[in-house]
Structure 1
Amino acid sequence: MLRKFSNYRSFLDNIRLGILTAFIAGMVNVISVTIFFSFTSNVTGHYAILAQEISKGNWYQGAVVLIWIFLFFAGNFTSNCLIIHNNTPNGRYIAHAIPVFLEMACLMFVGTYLQYFYTESLQETEILVGAMLFAMGLQNGLTASITNAKVKTTHLTGLTTDLGILLSMFTKKEYRKDKNLVEKGYLLFAIMLSYMGGGIASGVLYLKIQNATFIVVGTALGIVLLYDYSRLQITKIVFKRRMYNKIIKPN
């Protein structure tokens, strides 16, 4: 899921990445709304709040929202910087894995703080929401960068637009025969359903295990890292065996 980059990725690579990361984004967004009454998987609404606070002259609140938007931006910036500066066969997996690790660290920090230190003050809430926005920015930047913007899983506005356009195209027979368009449709539907599934799972889990829900989110991210690491090791073993067989049994 993370090893391959840009046009080297297959449909299955993208759909696996899309399903898992969309599920995580759905979980994060719902738990954020449940605890903080704030969306953290996208910043569309925050731009509207920023404009509202400025129009009212609420400069402190406006500054907080501006910082939140910047943190989401910073997450995207960080992910793409890591990727483009380490786009080599040896450094690619590490560059792709670091944003996931940082996202996991941010979310585990939020869960730990909520469990042991949170006093429900406004300042604490603002910091924790900022940490979650940075984490979602990291994820959004990673998935968009390594898939050539084919996979974006932290918000569904653009996805819903793309899906509407795609379904309108399928009203013509010629487009229904286009393999690339059909695969795109499957990918969009998979991301949408996975995001919803993550949100529902998060809501149910929070009612049962409260802040430990963040452990589940962190575990899901860990699965992404471990799956790709195991696939990387298998690929290396297969490559070494092929090279060995070529040396031992030359044509």
Structure 2
Amino acid sequence: MNNLEQINIKPVEIVDCLKKEVSLKDIYKKILYQRIIERTARERGITVTPEEIQAESDRFRAENRLEKAADTLAWLEDSMISPEEWEAGIRDRLLAKKLSQALFEKEAEKSFIENRVDFERILLYQIIVPYEKVARELFYQIEEQEISFYEAARLYDIDERRRLRCGYEGKILRSTLKPDIAAIVTRGNVGEVTGPIQSEQGYHLFLVEEFIPAELTPERRQSLIAKLFKEWLEKEVIYFIHNQGEQPDSTKNDGIIRPD
């Protein structure tokens, strides 16, 4: 038995701790999320089979090197949950995923198309220096091929990490750049230095090595589904609270609204 389980901790102490940690509201919301998921899945005939739970538990065990049953039982004991409670948690997560896909798979594709430009990526290099005069001098030296952009970044950038990477920032989503910087960077051509641009950090020079078109990958699709699902759940919780009184009560009708 887990040693912690031998300590007599009362439920009121747990609630008091959650309040002190300002975490109680998050727990309430998670409980409401699950009620909403359960009811909506039931209305749509969405279920999770024992085979799906088994497959997911096998995947988790393999991923966490819990090949032996004894290893899994030891992990469960250390986590203070029973095998039945673990399987119930797996079932809840699979149900939420199934429901999210049923509700928002088509909406995710629509959202991607409408916001395609935000998912374009840029293979970007950057130099930031503290003074405009230095930035302009570097710009002209790079243009005249007196020094390469990468060498200038290694020698003059204010950030040690970027100096070590010769200015390499990586494959950046266009949406993560500030609008004014994104506009200037995307107007330039591949291999062309742009700037200097002033910000609170200093004066920036940019070099684009590649513009990468937006692509609806399986990972991005799932990310969009998860985002839309979370937004929907938030709206459902607000509706629930406004129509059910001050405190959630499992004996009351859920009163859940549905997406079109």
Common fold: TM-score over 0.5: no
Q: Under a length normalisation based on structure 2, what TM-score does the superposition of the two structures give?
A: 0.23
Q: Under a length normalisation based on structure 1, what TM-score does the superposition of the two structures give?
A: 0.23
Q: Highest CA radius of gyration, 1 or 2? A: 2
* Structure number with higher relative contact order (C-alpha < 8 Å, ≥ 6 residues apart): 1
